[in-house]
Chain A
Amino acid sequence: MTPSSPRTAYLRGIRTALPFVIVVGPFGLLFGVVGTEAGLNIAQVMGFTVLVIAGASQFTALQLMADNAPTFIVVASALAVNLRMAMYSASLAPHLGAAPVWQRALIAYMNVDQTYALGHADYEANPRQSTAEKVAFFFGTSTPIIPVWIGATALGIVLGEAIPPALGLDFAVPITFIALIAPALRTIAHVAAALTSVVMAITLAFLPWNLWLLAAGLAAMMVGAEVERRMEARR
């Protein structure tokens, strides 16, 4: 890999990201279907998918909107789901901070779970790349992921208009959340956070305006962080 260039880094990014299209596609599709079934029009579903590009928070917003939660609560809760991306942003900054601001803005816009994970892993594995190569690699990973996400949602809208509501698709949302949570339960701290979240959701269910969601999230984060701290202290 000696005479490397942004061009080869870009192509390597595309190749690395291609398999993850299989993960991103179905989620985009599902958001199109469920958003349409929930009563959003085409422009609104596509607005979510193009402007937010964050499946879990989009489904969170959709679910709270189905409960007619106040606008502010919908936005705050869905944003809380995305807070982890501040961590992504911070961990990319040492690698990409020297790039022109328009490139960093574009990277921020496309900084989703998959592109972040692939980019970060590549920068850690090949730390001697130039900034231009690192930027090119990130754009490479985004090239299949982002259009597939958007295209799959559009396809989902078409399907959503054709699928009868009796198919139990309301349950696709909690199933999708479970599917996102289960593989993330890597450590005792993650499991403790998830269990706290469930218990708090049940005990705080009386709180108005879906506030139990933010309260449970906050408590779970604190439990997860504390368990992690204790596990590390024990080592």
Chain B
Amino acid sequence: MTYSVTDIWIIILALGAGTFLIRFSFLGILGDRQLPPWLLRHLRYTAVGILPAMVTPLILWPQATGGQLDPVRIIAATLALAMGLWTKNAIWAIVAGMATLWGLGFIVP
């Protein structure tokens, strides 16, 4: 990370202010009005649309291995996904993923 202290605080403050404005938008400013159905339909997929894109390079070419495919990380990610789909519980998914990473990390150094 090569940001100046000012840059880091600009990120924090801008993200804080922007997030508040998103949350305050209808409650505080726009009031009680219906969102058009097409917009609601898009908003429903913001998190599930962006987060997988975020994850993909972290799993396929992780910095910790110098960008090389790492079978241990791919297996750990797959098991975390399977556990999350199965239990619908984020915490169990994390436990499965990290336990696999550490467990296999001991076997395959």
In the bound complex, how far is the Cα of B48 from the Cα of A224, in angstroms? 9
Contact B52 A174 (CB under 8 A): no
In the bound complex, how far is the Cα of B49 from the Cα of A220, in angstroms? 5
Contact B85 A185 (CB under 8 A): yes
Chain B, residue nearest A40 (CB)? B8
A93 / chain B contacts, CB cutoff of 8 Å: 26-27, 30-33
Residue of B28, B58, B59, B76 touching A108 (CB-CB under 8 A): B28
Contact B27 A84 (CB under 8 A): no
In the bound complex, how far is the Cα of B25 from the Cα of A200, in angstroms? 30
In the bound complex, how far is the Cα of B43 from the Cα of A183, in angstroms? 18
Beyond A87-B35, A93-B32, A175-B93, whether A228 also contacts B19 by CB under 8 A is: no
Q: Does A19 lie at the interface of the complex (its beta carbon under 8 Å from any beta carbon of B)?
A: no
Q: Find residues 168-196 in chain A having any chain B CB closer than 8 Å to their own CB.
A: 168, 170-185, 189-190, 193-196
Beyond A66-B1, A68-B1, A170-B64, whether A85 also contacts B23 by CB under 8 A is: yes
Inter-chain residue pair count (beta carbon < 8 A): 297
A196 / chain B contacts, CB cutoff of 8 Å: 49
Contact B77 A175 (CB under 8 A): yes
Q: Is the interface of B mostly helix, strand, loop or mixed?
A: helix
Chain A, residue nearest B4 (CB)? A71
Beyond A75-B18, A170-B62, A220-B53, whether A193 also contacts B84 by CB under 8 A is: no
A40 / chain B contacts, CB cutoff of 8 Å: 1, 8
**B2, B15, B102, B105 — which one has the most chain A CB atoms within 10 A of its CB?**
B15
Chain B, residue nearest A44 (CB)? B8
**B11, B84, B94, B102 — which one has the most chain A CB atoms within 10 A of its CB?**
B11
Chain B, residue nearest A229 (CB)? B41
